[in-house]
Amino acid sequence: MKKVLNILFLVMLFSLLVACGQEDTDSENTGANEEENAVEETEVEAGYPVSLTDAVGNEITLEKEPERIVSLIPSNTEITFALGQGEKIVGVSDHDNYPEEVQEIEKIGGMELNVEVIIALEPDVILAHELGLSSAQEAFEQLKEAGIDVFVIEDAQDIASTYETIDTIGKVVGAEEEAEQVISEMKEGFAEIEELTSAIPEDERQSVFFENSPAPEIYTAGQNTFIQELLDMIHAENAASDYEGWLALDPEAIIELNPDVIITSYGAYIEDPEGEVLSREGFDSVEAVANERVYDIHADLITRSGPRLVDGARALAEVVYPELFDEE
């Protein structure tokens, strides 16, 4: 009897050991499956690989989120930094000036690209631009032959297309949510400025003439430009609204328009833009000159497609309607 009991005890002990071993195996399998599922979910959330079509109809497929980016134009760079992806940029154009961090980034040329430098930087993607197509087509082909994806960004000509550009760059660099946030903040900023300036009565709205270059070739902005859109937003009148796009006007035509305010945007290139306008021969009768209402605003704020257009709109509003900001 004792012998039988011993055998039964050994059988029960063996069964318990087998069961424990099975539980450990099941636990390990479960953990491995959960880890594998987590990795798969992360890959799905990242949205890669992703196929995108650029401004000229070329489709590129990014297998993973880019870690090294070369930007060929300042607006692309500003947007990428605004999306929190600036640390990925390893090369920028000679014309890049914002934010300050770009001064420490490798320069890859201006109108003429240094293809060798770009290839040596080993970028995962190049953020090109429609404006550079004519002068850089050969360089683009060389970069593509080197196996580097070149994505051409649309030349945004208004605020709506600027939103689209930000959204597109967000998709390319892996920052779609950040792009949505930037666009939302821009819309809020514009709405605040528009609401503030809406208090100006229609009969007190100022006529503004914008100068993109000094005499003797004075270029201004008519309809279908950022300037027109920003002036509409701050409830001011564009003195050149009868014209289309960017054009040169002779001094006599400007005198005839007789604007209340003159805005220049070339202070970064000449020493005293306001003084240049105020001292022009024959401009004494122009309201803006007679009342010394000539102001310079940095061109990047009001003509460069990107998040800082909100700052540009506010800068315009502050000089055109300073009384609205006296108590701020």
C-alpha torsion sign, points 222, 227, 232, 236? negative
The hierarchical CATH code for the domain 50-174 is: 3.40.50.1980
> DSSP letter at 68?
S
Predicted confidence at residue 43, as pLDDT, reads 45
Q: Are 73 and 159 in contact (CB under 8 A)?
A: no
Show Cβ contacts of residue 79 under 8 Å, excluding neighbours closer than 6 positions. Answer: 165, 166, 169, 182, 306, 307
Q: Are 324 and 314 in contact (CB under 8 A)?
A: no
Superfamily of domain 200-325, CATH level 4 = Nitrogenase molybdenum iron protein domain (3.40.50.1980)
Collapse the DSSP code of 227 into the 3-class scheme (helix H, G, I; strand E, B; otherwise coil) and give the result.
helix
Two tokens, residue 306:
């990107």
Element (H, E) at 70: strand 69-71
Tell me what percent of the chain is helix, strand and coil, each rounded to the nearest 5. Answer: 55, 15, 30
Q: Are 301 and 294 in contact (CB under 8 A)?
A: no
Is 40 a residue whose pLDDT tops 70? no
pLDDT tens for each residue of 68-127:
999 999 999 999 999 999 999 999 999 999 999 999 999 999 989 999 999 999 999 999
pLDDT tens for each residue of 165-219:
999 999 999 999 999 999 999 999 999 999 999 999 999 999 999 999 999 999 9
Rounded CA gap, 92 and 136, in Å? 15
What are the extents of the domains in the chain? 50-174, 200-325
Q: Which residues pair with 264 in a beta bridge?
A: 211, 296
Mean pLDDT of the chain: 89
Same fold, 50-174 and 200-325: yes
Element (H, E) at 118: helix 115-120
Element (H, E) at 117: helix 115-120
**Using omega within 30 degrees of 0 as the cis cutoff, is the peptide bond preceding 216 cis?**
yes
- Rounded to the nearest 10 degrees, the angle between the axes of helix 226-233 and helix 309-320 is 60
